[in-house]
Structure 1
Amino acid sequence: MSASGAVEARLAELGLTLPDVVPPLAAYQPAVRSGAHVYTAGQLPMVKGKLKLTGKVGAEVSAEQAKELAATCALNALAAVKSVVGDLDKIARVVKVVGFVASAPDFTGQPGVLNGASELLGEVLGERGVHARSAVGVAVLPLDAPVEVEIQVELVPEA
C-alpha cells in the first residue's frame, strides 16, 4: 500500500496500520463510490484474513472485547474507502456508521460496543470523524462474527 498524507500519518501516531482490504465473502464490492460519497460493505473484524473472535456478545464475547472488534471493523472500513479513492485525506467527513452486534438474548449494550468504531474514527479523523450512527443487535452475523460495521463517507469536492 502506498503511503498517503495526514490521515495515514495519524494512524501511525496511534500505532495503527491500515490493513489490506478484506476480500468479499460473496458477490459484492468492499466499497463503491457514488458521486461525492463512498459506501462500504459491512466489514468484519478480520485481521490477516481471520476473525479475531467468534460468538455472541454478552455470552462468548465480552462487551469490551466487542468494542475492540468494532474498532478493527472501522479500520477495515477505512481500508475499503482507500481502495476506491486512493487517499484517505479525500474524506471530508464520515456521514454515517451502521453497526451490527451479534447479541446474546439479554445483551442490550450495542451502543457501547459501537463506540469502538466511532471512537477510532474520531481519533483518526478528528472532527471529520463525527457521524450519525445506528447500533443494531442481531441473532447472527457472517462467519459467526460478533460485530460488523459499515461506513458512509463524503469526499472533499474535486478541484
Structure 2
Amino acid sequence: MSGVEARLADLGITLPAVVPPVASYVPAVVSGNHVYTSGQLPFIDGKLPASGKVGAGVDAATATSLAATCAVNALAAIKSVIGDLDRVTRIVKVVGFVASDPSFTGQPGVINGASDLLGNALGDAGVHARSAVGVAVLPLDSPVELEIIAEFV
C-alpha cells in the first residue's frame, strides 16, 4: 500500500476500483508528466448515492461529502494510469462542477470537500489551483462532478 493509500486508510477510505466510463471516453490519460482525469462522479459501488440540485433537494453538507467521493474516484483513475499514487508530485488543478439551484451560491464550499480530501491524502502535493462552477445539470443528475490534473514522476 502506498503512503497516499495509507493516509486514505487512516481516514477510513479504501481506494475503489476505477469507475467504468458511462460514455465514449477513458477515465484518465497521461500526457508528458501529467494525468488528466475525465469528469468523476461520486459513484459508490457503481451507484450515485444522491441526485438532483444542490440547494434544492441536496443539501450543501451532502454535496461536500459527494465532492470528496469524486476526489477519491479521481485518485483511483490516476492510479490506474501511473500505478502508484506516491508518484504524484502535485495536484495541479481541480475543476469542480456543482449542479445548483439558481439561488445556491456556495459552490466553493462544496468543492472544499474534494480539496480537503486531496490535502489530507497528499499533504503539500495536494494543494492546488481550483475552479468551482455552478451548472444547471450534470450527467445522470449528479449533484457534483470533478476533474483533476496531476503531475507525477
In structure 2, what is the Cα distance between the partners aligned to 1:5 and 1:55? Answer: 35
Structure 1: tracts of 5 or more residues without a match: none
Runs of 4+ in structure 1 deviating by more than 6 angstroms, as ranges, are none
In structure 1, what is the Cα distance between the partners aligned to 2:8 and 2:104? Answer: 32
In structure 1, what is the Cα distance between the partners aligned to 2:27 and 2:18? Answer: 7
Q: Of the candidates 9, 12, 21, which is equivalent to residue 12 of structure 1?
A: 9
Q: Of the candidates 30, 33, 58, which is equivalent to residue 33 of structure 1?
A: 30
Q: Who is 1:155 aligned against?
A: 152
Tell whether 2:53 aligns with 1:56. Answer: yes
Q: Of the candidates 92, 95, 106, which is equivalent to residue 109 of structure 1?
A: 106
In structure 2, what is the Cα distance between the partners aligned to 1:98 and 1:104? Answer: 19
- Give the alignment of 1:71-150 within 5 angstroms: 71-150=68-147
Task: State the identity %.
Answer: 71
In structure 2, what is the Cα distance between the partners aligned to 1:7 and 1:74? Answer: 13
Give the counterpart letter for 1:103 in structure 2.
S
In structure 1, what is the Cα distance between the partners aligned to 2:32 and 2:146? Answer: 22
* Structure 1 residue 5 displacement after superposition: 1.6
CA RMSD of aligned residues (A): 0.5
Structure 2: tracts of 5 or more residues without a match: none
Q: Who is 2:62 aligned against?
A: 65
Give the counterpart letter for 2:49 in structure 1.
K
Residue-pair matches, total = 153
* Structure 1 residue 13 displacement after superposition: 1.1
* Structure 1 residue 8 displacement after superposition: 0.9
